[in-house]
Amino acid sequence: MTTLSNTRNVRIEWADCDPAGIVFYPRYFEIFDACTSALFERALGLTLFQSLKTFNFAGYPLARTRARFMRPTRYGDDVTVHTAVTFGHASFDIEHRLSHNGLTCVECSETRVWVVQDPADPASYKSQPVPEAVRAKFNLP
C-alpha cells in the first residue's frame, strides 16, 4: 500500500534571508511546518482548524526534528518541498526534501505526536493513537 505524499512550491522571500541574502536556517523549519500542514490538509480535505474540531484533538506537536543542510538557497529562489509521512501508533514521522533546480538543498525529518487534552488535567495534553479514519485518508490503493 502506498502512502500519500505532497509537493509544495515555495518562493524564498527577503524576510527568509540573512544579510548575505541566504536563507536563515530557522526559516526552513517554518517552511517544513507549513508543508506538514499542507500534507494533512490535502489528505483530510480539511484545514488544521477544521481537523481539530472534526477529530477532537489538540494538534500534532513536534517531538523531534533533525535537518541536514547541503546547499544554500537565496532570496528569489523557487524551491520545491516534497513531504511524506509514515505512521506509528500515536506518533508519525515526516520526511521533507527541499530542492532547487533539481538539487537537494535541505533534508529534514520530524517526529510528531497526535495529542488530546488530558481530561484529568485540562491544562495538560497526552498522546493518543492516530485515528484509523485519519490513517485511511493517507493510504492510496
Average pLDDT, the chain: 94
Show the domain range for 97.
2-140
pLDDT of 141: 60
Mean pLDDT of the region 124-138: 94
Give CA–CA dist 108/66, Å, rounded.
6
Percent of the chain scored above 70 by pLDDT? 97
Minimal CA–CA distance to 67: which of 96, 99, 102?
A: 96
Quick check: 107 and 49 in contact, CB under 8 A? no
What pTM was computed for the model? 0.92
- What pLDDT, in 10s, does the model give residues 70-105? 999 999 999 999 999 999 999 999 999 999 999 999
> Tens digit of pLDDT for each residue in 18-69?
999 999 999 999 999 999 999 999 999 999 999 999 999 999 999 999 999 9
| Counted domains in the chain | 1
Q: What is the CATH number of the domain that holds 131?
A: 3.10.129.10
